Structure 1
Amino acid sequence: MSLQKTMENKSLVISLAASAAILTLVAPVVRRDYQAYLSLGPGGVPHDARGWLLANLLRPFGRETMSITVYGGASAGVLKDISRRPGGRPRTGKHPIPHRQTSDLGTSETRRVANEIAMSKRSHELLARLRERNLELVEIATSVLERRGPALFIHRNIPSPHKVAESTRREIGHVHDSDGSLHLVLSPADCAEVIGKGWGERHPLSGSRLLPSQYLLVYAPRDESEVHVIETILKAAIGYMADSRGVV
């Protein structure tokens, strides 16, 4: 065997060994990240490896979610009198899609699951109740942003009042079954109130070409008193998106 051939074989062995070592180190990280993605539940992108890859491709485009300076000191909205949400903010997933709450859902697994089911049910009931009260303003259909589950839309007989409504294809908001949180679109002033008082945060991709800056995650209600606050926030979203002061 020639010296050149021997050197080539050694280089190949070294390359294979290095690749194996890197794979051994990276594989657990990739597996944990994939499991974290799946734990967020379905929504927006496929709930499989394809969606996980897309979610990671979008990570560099994610933005901070708490600042209210983006709303430019908008005049007071209808939510100026809502209370401050007790406690700290819940954590959210590190993947920009799906944007989900990952903490503040209970202290044990049994309580967490029970709370998710109960609060998600209450949130769904709230959407249906508001639709029944405001039949001329809103209707319910499958979310075009989540691509699954019911969502509130501006009623088909109402022209889109602004570009924000057009950018969400007239969708006002929807509930996430996995955690009971919601995505809603609010006026700039009300966005500042909701974020500033701890009830929600912007979507990481808000303000991009994909979503308007007023696209918020509103945290899951933890008890009946918080359901009432969420109802107030939902009414404000309907009023803004349908351009109406007659929401009941």
Structure 2
Amino acid sequence: MATIISTISTYSHHLIDSIKARPRSAALTSTAVALTLSLAWIVQDFHDWKAFGTGGTPPTWAGYWRMTKLRIHRMLLLGKDDLTDPTPLSGSGRRYLDAGSIPVRQGSRPQLVSRTMPQRQMPYKPGTIEPGVAERVSEMTATFAAKYPDILDLKPSKTEGGSADAIYAKPSLPTLNEKAKHDRILTSEIAHHHPAELSFHVWVSEADAKTIVEKKWGQRFPLPGVDKGWVMLYTPRTAAEVDVVERIVRAAIAWVSGVEV
């Protein structure tokens, strides 16, 4: 990566010197510099995107361009679709979270990566997360799958392109949510965490999703066409916050599998 940036920087200096040596306008020089710097930014952003995880999108230039178009679309909608706004979510219907017992998450919402997809938050600074939290988060899906083998499967997440493990409701369950039987995007996926920064995606009822967003534990998913109950949970920082995340994952299990655990 450093070699690529160094090469672009060297090229930029040569280009500027070449242009200055000719009787060209200052505007041409400025344009050349802007184009070169833009190229350097794009190359850096592409490699950052691949390094942090692409959310299942092929880690290629074609995949990057596809995600960049979504990013530009979101920028054009800036101020029109705040994903932390719970009002687009209905509070009616089935719920598995007791809204009254879910505390409001303390502090401000975390900063998210500027890209629309994959939906991720910026990792917290060292020392922000209590000891033991990362281990509990990393083991959570496997722990649930081992505890409830009759209703859950642990396998690579299709929504993450196989880059993270997820818990799925067994498709043979007679209690399986009707939505899970027909949803081509989520199928019967319940939850997965993101190893890079320990945030989650979970599938809960729309009413529970509203509670999660209202209480600042997460936010809505940015893409249309995905069920409104599919939400992102912020990285837990303390053992108490992991407890809340576990309650939310249990609610997701109940919603998708039809079995309360």
TM-score under structure 1 length normalisation: 0.79
Aligned length: 225
CA shift in 2, pair 1:118/1:92, >3 Å: farther
* Secondary structure, aligned partner of 2:150: coil
Shift of 1:166: 3.2
1:99 aligns with 2:150: no
Q: Could you report, residue by residue, the CA deviation over 1:22-49 in whole angstroms, capped at 9, with x for unpaired residues?
A: 4134234434543553453342213353
Shift of 1:20: 2.3
1:58 aligns with 2:70: yes
1:176 aligns with 2:188: no
RMSD (CA atoms): 2.8
Conserved 8 A contact 2:130-2:239: no
1:239 aligns with 2:232: no
CA shift in 2, pair 1:189/1:165, >3 Å: farther
Residue identity in the other structure for 1:240:
W
Output the CA distance in 1 between the equivalents of 2:177 and 2:253. Answer: 12
1:23 aligns with 2:35: yes
Shift of 1:214: 1.6
CA shift in 2, pair 1:19/1:116, >3 Å: farther
Q: Percent identity?
A: 27
Output the CA distance in 1 between the equivalents of 2:67 and 2:237. Answer: 28
Aligned position for 1:83: 103
**Structure 1 unaligned spans of 5+:** 1-12
Aligned position for 2:212: 194
Aligned pairs for 1:11-50 (under 5 A) are 20-31=32-43, 33-34=45-46, 36-38=48-50, 40-50=52-62
Output the CA distance in 1 between the equivalents of 2:168 and 2:245. Answer: 17
Conserved 8 A contact 2:199-2:234: yes
Aligned position for 2:6: none
1:162 aligns with 2:174: no
Conserved 8 A contact 1:65-1:202: yes
Output the CA distance in 2 between the equivalents of 1:116 and 1:55. Answer: 33
TM-score under structure 2 length normalisation: 0.75
CA shift in 2, pair 1:164/1:53, >3 Å: same
